[in-house]
Copies of this chain bind each other. A is one copy, B any other.
């Protein structure tokens, strides 16, 4: 019975954690770390505050768990999507598209990422960059390959170009989120992609 017990226990724990994380993500995204009350999260999750503290050490732990989960999901999705494509430029396009779709679905998350950087500078960045780098390294390889193939200007440093792309996407999503998602992300992103690509690509007709 011990094994079954452990499984059940694990199930309950995971279920509760997910339940709390889901609510917490919404609330933290809306109000930011400092203005969020743990009471509200507990209430919306239909739980008592004590229960929340059963599953998370403290408010910070809860917050960082959200960040962790979000980044992990995003990274996995992007890497999987890229793997589906063959050509370097298609891989990059696919990465942009996936990134965009992720936030179209989880739009509130962008706030957590951008919003709280100063409060948690080191910690978030540590977690963020840990995942981010795996992710960037893959994309960097793709960039380099595209450069070898003569598709992307040789003088552009992949790391910086990727940073610029990420920044463009992040802040565009952020603005889009703030202004009430009045237009479709996909629509505007085609323009961003065009600006980004036409600037980056070697001219074809030389």
**For residue A196, which residues in chain B have a CB less than 8 angstroms away from its CB?**
195, 199
Chain A interface bracket (under 10, 10 to 19, 20 to 34, 35 or more): 35 or more
- Contact segment of A11-19, A75-83, A111-119: A111-119
**Chain A, 162-206, contact with B by CB distance < 8 Å: what is the 0/1 string?**
011001101110110010000000001001101111111000000
**Chain A, 21-48, contact with B by CB distance < 8 Å: what is the 0/1 string?**
0000000011111110000000000000
**For residue A32, which residues in chain B have a CB less than 8 angstroms away from its CB?**
32, 34, 118-119
Closest to A195 in B: B199
Q: Classify the secondary structure of A's interface with B.
A: helix
**Chain A, 86-109, contact with B by CB distance < 8 Å: what is the 0/1 string?**
000000000000000000000000
- B200 and A195 contact, CB distance less than 8 A: yes
**Chain A, 103-147, contact with B by CB distance < 8 Å: what is the 0/1 string?**
000000001001101110100010000000000000000000000
- B156 and A191 contact, CB distance less than 8 A: yes
Instruction: Point out residues on A near B: beta carbons under 8 Å.
Output: 29-35, 111, 114-115, 117-119, 121, 125, 156, 160-161, 163-164, 167-168, 170-172, 174-175, 178, 188, 191-192, 194-200
